[in-house]
Structure 1
Amino acid sequence: MPLKKQFLKSRPVVKVTFEIPAEAAGHAKAAYLLCEAQGWQKEPLKQLKNGSFKTMLELPTDQQDDFEFRYCLLDEHGEEHYDNDWQADTYRPGALGVDNSVVRVRN
């Protein structure tokens, strides 16, 4: 799952694009991102014509001591159907005994 980052010089944020490729999405009709920076609220990913899903979040670069945010991707049934993001910067143990992907927001 590609993870793209764009650091802004004008504000203390980084634009992070999260994507689930069509081959990983399979026959999913919807996908969601859960991110620590968003209070673990479901963020819908937009399904593209090629069957992939994508969303972009602006994550603050000045609010975390460790400059990292945990996240995971869910299918339309609310299950962590997708493997950890291979493009994640690292992984951290989650509360439910599975690892969460981590995005670093420091340049």
Structure 2
Amino acid sequence: MPITKQYLKSKPECKITFCFPSQEADKVEVAGDFNKWKPVKLKKYKNGNFKGQLNLPVDKEYEFKYVVDGSWKNEPEADKYKWNDFAGSENSVVVV
């Protein structure tokens, strides 16, 4: 299950649900420019999915990655990808 977006009617924000499927992982976090790249832990469910929600202002693009047991991973179904010279790799991008 990829990222889902729910635009809020009451304010210019979008509720983003990050979902990373992994039966093997012990810990999955999400980090991006929306939280100054400080990883936020996602909750593990019995079906193997790790999920978490964040409300983000609309009309912006946000770079992010998952941290899976200490390794940085991209979202396979991101809206797009952007090269990051600092990391020497691409970051996932969510457009809201």
TM-score normalised by the chain length of structure 2: 0.90
- The number of equivalent residue pairs is 95
Q: Structure 1 unaligned segments of length 5 or more: list them.
A: none
Query: Tell me, what secondary structure is at the counterpart of 2:71?
Result: coil
Q: Structure 2 unaligned segments of length 5 or more: list them.
A: none
Q: Distance in 1 between matches of 2:77 and 2:10?
A: 26
Task: Give 1:9 deviation, angstroms.
Answer: 1.6
1:88 corresponds to 2:78: yes
Task: Give 1:61 deviation, angstroms.
Answer: 1.8
Identity of aligned residues (%): 39
Task: Give 1:27 deviation, angstroms.
Answer: 1.4
Tell me the alpha carbon deviations over residues 32-52 of structure 1, each in whole angstroms, 9 at most, x when there is no partner: 001211111111010001111
1:38 corresponds to 2:35: yes
1:100 corresponds to 2:91: yes
TM-score normalised by the chain length of structure 1: 0.82
Query: Which structure 1 residue ranges, 4+ long, deviate > 3 Å from structure 2?
Result: none
The residue type equivalent to 2:39 in the other structure is K
Q: CA RMSD in A?
A: 1.3
